[in-house]
Structure formats: C-alpha cells, structure tokens
C-alpha cells in the first residue's frame, strides 16, 4: 500500500519509503489528467464554477505528493531522492505544459475570461480568473504548435538544470572540511564554536576540530579566527563553490539556464526574462527595478565608502593590514563593532537560547494576533530534530500545524526558508487549515551548552516565522491565492517586518533571559543592539544591491553573447565593489536564489520589501509596537489575504497610503 496515494491529513513520513515516490507521482498525475478531461469534455457552457473553480481544485493529491517530496529534497535528502527528483522534474514540467498547452481547456478558460466584466464575481474570484487566464497565456497557450513544442523542451531542460545546480552546491558544501589538530589554529574562536567544532570532528571519528562550509561552522570562524591564512582558505572554498572546472562546476549550468530563460521569454513575446517575470510583480518593469536600485545606491554608496575607509584604517591601526580582503570583512567588522559599541555577539548569545527565542516569537505573535501555541508529540516527523506545534486563535479555533527544523545536517541544504506541506483553502463549507514549516541551520546544542543563537540568527528565526504567519493566518477560498502565494516583491513584507521586534526593549523583555541564571538581558545591551543596528548599513545595503544588480545582469539582457561567467559578474559588480576582486571565486555559480529558487529577476525584492517593512513598522512605532488595532489591520489586510488582490491595494488599506522610501533610508541611517 502506497501511503502517498491514500488520502492523508498530516504527511505520513514514517511509512513513506523512497520507492513510493515515483509511483505516487505517476498515479497522481494520471488522476489529475482525468480531472482535467472531465472539465474539457463537460457539455455544459463554460462557467466560472465548472471551469475555473474545477481547474483550481484539480490535482490536489499531486500537490500534496509534490510538497512532501520536494520539501524532503531540501531538508532531508539523499542520493536516491536526488535521483528521483532528476527523473520526476521533467515529467512534472511536461505535465504542467500538458495543462497550459491544452487547447480545449484554454478555450473554455478564454470563454469565461472574455465575459469577466459581466459575471457577478467577488474580488478574489476576479483575481483567480485573471491568474488562471495568465497561467495559460504566459505559458504559451497562444503559440503556434512548433513554438509550443520548443517551449516544452525548454521547460524540461530548465527543470533538470536547476536541480543539478542545487545538487552541485550541496555536494560542494558537504565535500569541504578543514580538519585542525593544532589548537593554536582556533585562536580567537569562542568556546562554544570550539566545542561545536570538536563535537563535529568526534562525530566523524576524528580527533581535534572540524570546520565546514555550513553557516554555524563557517560564520564564527570568519568572524573570530585570528589566523588570516585559514580565513582566506575558508573564504576561497566558500566563494568558489561550483567554480572549479570539475564535475561539480556550475558555469555551464548558469549560461544554459540564463539562455534558456531568455529564449523562453522571447518565444512568449517578451524582450527578456526580466520583462516576462516583472509583468507579475509590484515593480512591473526592469526599468523600474533599475531606477529603484539606482536611487538607493546613490544614497548608500557614499556611506558605504566612508564605512569601508573606517574599517581599512582600523585594520591597519590594530594589525598593520595594508590591503583589506574579503576574508577580513567579518573579522575586522566584528572587532570594530566591539570597540564602538562594546557589543560582542558572544556576550549576547547566552541570552538567546534557541528554545527561549522560539517561545519569544510565539509570545510576540500572541500579543499581536492572539495566537496560542502547543507543542505536540503525536505527529509524524521526517527527522528527530523536527519539533511540531498546534496553533490556535484566541477563541481556541485550530489555526495551523507548524513544523520547526532548526539544525544543519548533511542531507539539508544551507540557509533558512519557510514552506508548507498543506495549503489553506475553503471548500464545501470547511475552512481547511494549513501545515507550515520553518527550516533553518542554527548551531546544535553541545555536551555542555544548549543551542545559543547569535543576534543575526535571532533575526533569521523571526524572519522565517514572519513568512510562517503569512501561511498560518491565510484565510482565502482558493489554495493558489492562499498564504505566501503573492507577488514576489510583496512576499518578504511579513517576514522582514517581524524582524523589527527583535530590536525593541518591550519584545526582548519577553524572552531574552540568560540560559544559566535566568537574568533578563541588561537594558544597556538592548540599547547597544539598537545603536549598532545601523552599523555598516551602507556596506550591507551595497552588498544587497550588488546581488540585485547581478540578478538583473543575467536576466534583464540577451545573454547569448556571454561566454565567461566570471567576466559577466565582474561587470555587474563594478559599481558596488569595495574589496579587491579574487579570480578564484564566483558568486553566480552558487547563487541558488536566482538559479535554483524562485528569485530570478526578483532579488531586488528584498530591498523593495524593506521599504514596505520600514514604512509598516514606523506605523507600529507611532502607536505602540504591540498595538492590537494596528496588528489586526495588518492581519486582516495583509497576512490573511494572500494573493487575492493587488498588493499595493492591500498595503494602502492597512497603512492608509503608499510606502515611502524615506522610511527605509531613515531607519538605515542613510539620510
């Protein structure tokens, strides 16, 4: 019996075997095709109900199987799962094309779409109709047959290339480990980081210490290790992922992905991939994105250059460093920050025990949105590290199931993300509630210490939980408009706005207590966290902008004449570079956000959403950070609405006006 083919509420992880996946996909696709056939062969006149709604609720089993499988491929993968992903992805691409290139289906959708002005539809139904029509027109339904065939070929190739790109990065990350046996090489490292490195070595049957490219291992080493040569070696290993002309090299993949995306956009009548993507974003056009990035660059660059000069002078003064390099960045920034603010991440960490921070984000959510959290132990999990919670509203109604997976392991890709195992929607009088997951990579507990987070990790946890709330509090009729199914440059608003609470005394008092003594974080430390929040903000902004510009340099042009990935990248970074170029490293070959994830032509959206979040939080600040009236407005107009309306309409309904870029520049200290 295949557990993926029986109806299930929570994912049946413990009974799923790898051999269940492919048959489940094949059967679910077959069933979905039957549902599509039922729509196209319906003899009744096409209506919103028998065509658009029927299409929306088709293939639900396939959606569930896909979410279980691809979430595991990110959080708990192995060679077998990766192999299945390579086999399945082109089939799913083909299946998607079979729907969007289905002439009979499109004709029915078109009939309904052409009557849209005379149909008595709700705003959400109008959005769904518009989205369904565009899912056909933007995916080739209006193309002649030969071009449809080419589109299918492109989509199948892209699905494989993107997977290969990600697998290469994971393999590169897992491949590198620096085994140290001389304790002097760990000079400067905090005790907790040393203990974690010793524990990691021990787990691999080695003496001494092990440093890897996983963030909890890599970042403390780059920030604290006094051995400059070792920092350089690690930095080079990290920066050269996918760029070594070996079997894990991603240069060819980058060029192929960029060219195929461009060809696809041209086939569909768009000038570039960016023109295609941005039609469905708040930013609308590549020109607007460039203008937006340029406006912030103009304000940030002088500040970044001043900050860099200050850092150079500081490194020269304390260590006689003549030329600051990339591998010096975290190290001297941390030292300078300690000097200016007497603020050391290591002094803060004891106040941020992982369990306390989780309790803190729960309390903040309770005060803002009336949510209640209950840890449960009877839900199937895909790994013992995963914690599970039931979430209720103030009236004790079930809101969502929540999976939390916080520590790195070899089968898990780096970084942090939110995802879902089940969408929210309303059908047959029932409001079906979602199953949401946060996945992060924080330092594991050691034999002597619990998992203690850096302040940066605290903000990461709040960030991902903000995405989580967007999924949990969804309250829409249709699954494809639910939760985080919004314009990409709007999706970061709920996550980034929640980070603001980490800097506020009232919020920190709820959870920032010393893991040994229970003492509340001293208020002078809170004040220093606040003061240091704009430390090197110019440099940080320049770095974010450089990633957005790199993205646009691949996707906002015709890439067919680009032959050298590194040279292209160097051109893109020209206006934002502060550090000397290193020939052996390349960002593009490991830039999973744009070459594997969904951020192609969308990396600017982090900055775009920062404008929204700074403006939104200013509203809270004016009225109290736990003002329930404003929190309710945010929940009702943003969090619960998903993609049911244009995001600017939703934002203005919450805020009363469009966001102002000045709010961001002021918060960042760049005005």
- Predicted pLDDT of residue 619: 96
Same domain, 354 and 495: yes
CA neighbor of 595 nearest in space, from 266, 256, 290, 265: 256
108's enclosing H/E stretch is helix 103-114
Per-residue pLDDT reduced to its tens digit, 523-540 = 888 889 888 999 999 999
Q: String of b and e for 170-205 (b: at least 16 CB within 10 Å)?
A: bebbeebbbebeeeebbebbbebbbbbbbbbbeeee
In a domain, 512, yes or no: no
CA neighbor of 5 nearest in space, from 546, 551, 20: 20
Helices 145-175/79-100 angle, 10° precision: 160
- Domain at 293, CATH number: 1.10.1370.10
Same domain, 363 and 454: yes
> Is 645 a residue of the active site?
no
Q: Among residues 239, 262, 287, which one ends one of the domains?
A: 239
Mean pLDDT of 215-222: 95
Q: How far apart are CA 502 and CA 512, in angstroms?
A: 10
Q: How far apart are CA 446 and CA 194, in angstroms?
A: 10
Per-residue pLDDT reduced to its tens digit, 601-623 = 999 999 999 999 999 999 999 99
Task: Give me the sign of the Cα torsion angle 437, 438, 443, 449.
Answer: negative
Q: How far apart are CA 237 and CA 399, in angstroms?
A: 44
In a domain, 244, yes or no: no
CA 341 to chain centre: 31
Same domain, 474 and 590: no
The domain in which residue 473 lies consists of 350-499
Beta bridge partners of 576: none
How sure is the predictor about 343, in pLDDT bands with cuts at 50, 70 and 90? confident
CA neighbor of 342 nearest in space, from 209, 528, 497, 188: 528
Same domain, 137 and 231: no
Same domain, 217 and 186: yes
Same domain, 558 and 446: no
- pLDDT > 90? residue 49: yes
Same domain, 418 and 309: no
- pLDDT > 90? residue 630: yes
In a domain, 527, yes or no: no
How sure is the predictor about 163, in pLDDT bands with cuts at 50, 70 and 90? very high
- Predicted pLDDT of residue 346: 86
- Predicted pLDDT of residue 443: 87
- Asked if 304 and 538 count as a contact pair (C-beta separation under 8 A), the reply is yes
- Domain at 452, CATH number: 1.10.1370.40
Per-residue pLDDT reduced to its tens digit, 364-417 = 999 999 999 999 999 999 999 999 999 999 999 999 999 999 999 989 988 999
- Predicted pLDDT of residue 206: 97
Please report, for the chain, how many H helices and E strands are present, in that order: 27, 9
Beta bridge partners of 211: 178
- pLDDT > 90? residue 492: yes
CA neighbor of 606 nearest in space, from 478, 467, 491: 491
In a domain, 20, yes or no: yes
Helices 251-267/537-555 angle, 10° precision: 60
- pLDDT > 90? residue 597: no
- Asked if 533 and 567 count as a contact pair (C-beta separation under 8 A), the reply is no
Catalytic residue among 56, 76, 172, 464: 464
In a domain, 602, yes or no: yes
Per-residue pLDDT reduced to its tens digit, 193-216 = 999 999 999 999 999 999 999 999
Give the burial class of 495: count Cβ atoms within 10 A of its Cβ; 0-12 exposed, 13-18 middle, 19 or more buried: buried
Same domain, 452 and 543: no
- Domain at 34, CATH number: 1.20.1050.40
Give the burial class of 395: count Cβ atoms within 10 A of its Cβ; 0-12 exposed, 13-18 middle, 19 or more buried: exposed
- Predicted pLDDT of residue 48: 98
Same domain, 557 and 428: no
In eight-state DSSP terms, residue 328 is G
Q: Which two tokens stand for residue 71?
A: 């979430």
In a domain, 493, yes or no: yes
Q: How far apart are CA 91 and CA 22, in angstroms?
A: 10
Same domain, 335 and 359: no
- Predicted pLDDT of residue 347: 87
In a domain, 153, yes or no: no
- Predicted pLDDT of residue 54: 98
Helix (H, G, I), strand (E, B) or coil at 257: helix
Per-residue pLDDT reduced to its tens digit, 24-42 = 999 999 999 999 999 999 9
- Predicted pLDDT of residue 345: 82
Residue given tokens 């940030």 in the structure block: 300
DSSP 497-531: HHHGGGG-HHHHTTT-B-TTT-PBPPHHHHHHHHH
Q: How far apart are CA 292 and CA 287, in angstroms?
A: 9
Give the burial class of 297: count Cβ atoms within 10 A of its Cβ; 0-12 exposed, 13-18 middle, 19 or more buried: buried
When comparing pLDDT for 444 and 182, which is higher? 182
Is the pTM above the cut of 0.85? yes
Give the burial class of 384: count Cβ atoms within 10 A of its Cβ; 0-12 exposed, 13-18 middle, 19 or more buried: exposed
Q: How many domains does the chain have?
A: 4
415: Cβ–Cβ under 8 A, 6 or more apart, which residues?
Answer: 215, 441, 592
CA 315 to chain centre: 34
- Predicted pLDDT of residue 488: 87
- Asked if 603 and 594 count as a contact pair (C-beta separation under 8 A), the reply is yes
Q: Tell me the pLDDT of the chain averaged across its residues.
A: 96
How sure is the predictor about 670, in pLDDT bands with cuts at 50, 70 and 90? confident
CA torsion angle for 271, 277, 278, 281 (degrees, to 10)? 160
Same domain, 52 and 190: no
In eight-state DSSP terms, residue 636 is I
In a domain, 168, yes or no: no
Per-residue pLDDT reduced to its tens digit, 430-452 = 999 999 999 999 988 988 999 99
Same domain, 302 and 394: no
């Amino acid at each position: 019996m295949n557990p993926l083919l029986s109806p299930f509420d929570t994912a049946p992880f413990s009974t799923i075997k790898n051999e269940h996946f492919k048959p489940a996909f094949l059967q679910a696709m077959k069933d979905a095709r039957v549902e599509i056939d039922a729509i196209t062969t319906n003899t009744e006149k096409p209506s919103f109900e028998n065509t658009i709604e029927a299409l929306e609720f088709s293939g639900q089993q396939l959606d569930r199987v896909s979410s279980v499988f691809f979430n595991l491929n990110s959080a708990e993968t192995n060679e077998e799962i990766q192999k299945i992903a390579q086999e399945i992805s082109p089939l799913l691409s083909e299946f998607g094309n079979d729907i969007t290139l289905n002439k009979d289906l499109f004709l029915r959708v078109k009939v309904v779409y052409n009557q849209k002005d005379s149909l008595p539809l709700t705003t959400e139904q109008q959005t769904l109709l518009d989205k369904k029509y565009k899912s056909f027109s933007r995916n080739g339904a209006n193309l002649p047959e030969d071009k449809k065939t080419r589109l299918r070929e492109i989509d199948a190739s892209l699905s494989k290339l993107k997977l290969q790109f990600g697998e290469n990065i994971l393999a590169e990350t897992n491949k590198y480990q620096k085994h140290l046996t001389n304790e002097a090489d760990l000079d400067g490292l905090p005790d907790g980081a040393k203990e974690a490195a010793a524990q990691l070595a021990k787990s691999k049957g080695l003496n001494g210490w092990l440093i890897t490219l996983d963030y909890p291992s890599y970042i403390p080493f780059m920030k604290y290790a006094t051995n400059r040569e070792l920092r350089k070696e690690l930095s080079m290993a990290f920066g050269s992922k996918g760029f070594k002309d070996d079997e894990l090299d991603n240069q060819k993949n980058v060029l192929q992905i960029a060219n195929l995306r461009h060809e696809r956009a041209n086939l569909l009548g768009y000038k570039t991939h960016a023109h295609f993507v941005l039609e469905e974003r708040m930013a609308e056009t590549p020109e607007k994105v460039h203008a937006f990035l340029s406006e912030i660059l103009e304000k940030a660059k002088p500040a970044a250059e001043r900050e860099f000069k200050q850092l150079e002078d500081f490194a020269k003064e304390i260590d006689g460093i003549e030329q600051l390099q990339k591998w010096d960045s975290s190290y001297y920034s941390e030292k300078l920050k300690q000097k200016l603010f007497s603020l050391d991440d290591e002094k803060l960490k004891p106040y941020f025990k992982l369990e306390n921070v989780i309790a803190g984000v729960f309390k903040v959510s309770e005060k803002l949105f009336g949510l209640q959290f209950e840890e449960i132990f009877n839900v199937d999990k895909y790994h013992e590290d995963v914690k599970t919670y039931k979430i209720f509203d103030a009236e004790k109604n079930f809101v969502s199931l929540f999976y939390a997976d916080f520590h790195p392991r070899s089968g898990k890709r780096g970084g942090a993300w939110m995802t879902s195992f089940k969408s929210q929607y309303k059908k047959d009088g029932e409001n079906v509630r979602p199953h949401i997951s946060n996945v992060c990579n924080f330092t594991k507990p050691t034999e002597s210490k619990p998992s203690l987070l850096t302040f940066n990790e605290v903000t990461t946890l709040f960030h991902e939980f903000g995405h989580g709330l967007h999924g949990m509090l969804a309250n829409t009729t249709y699954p494809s408009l639910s939760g985080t199914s919004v314009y990409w440059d709007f999706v970061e608003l709920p996550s980034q706005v929640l980070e603001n609470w980490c800097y506020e005394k009232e919020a920190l008092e709820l959870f920032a207590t010393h893991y040994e003594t229970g003492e509340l974080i001293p208020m002078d430390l809170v004040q220093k966290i606040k003061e240091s929040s704009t430390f090197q903000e110019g440099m940080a902004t320049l770095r974010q902008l450089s990633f957005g510009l790199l993205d646009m340099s691949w996707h906002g042009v015709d890439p067919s004449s680009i032959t050298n990935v590194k040279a292209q990248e160097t051109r893109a970074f020209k206006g934002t570079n502060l550090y000397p170029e290193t020939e052996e490293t390349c960002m593009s070959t490991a830039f999973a956000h744009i070459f594997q994830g969904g951020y192609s032509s969308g990396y600017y959206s982090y900055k775009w959403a920062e404008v929204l979040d700074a403006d939104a939080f200013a509203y809270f600040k004016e009225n109290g950070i736990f003002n329930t009236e404003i929190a309710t407005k945010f929940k009702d107009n943003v969090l619960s609405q998903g993609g049911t309306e244009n995001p600017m309409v939703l934002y203005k309904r919450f805020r009363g006006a469009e966001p102002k870029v000045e709010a961001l520049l002021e918060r960042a200290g760049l005005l």
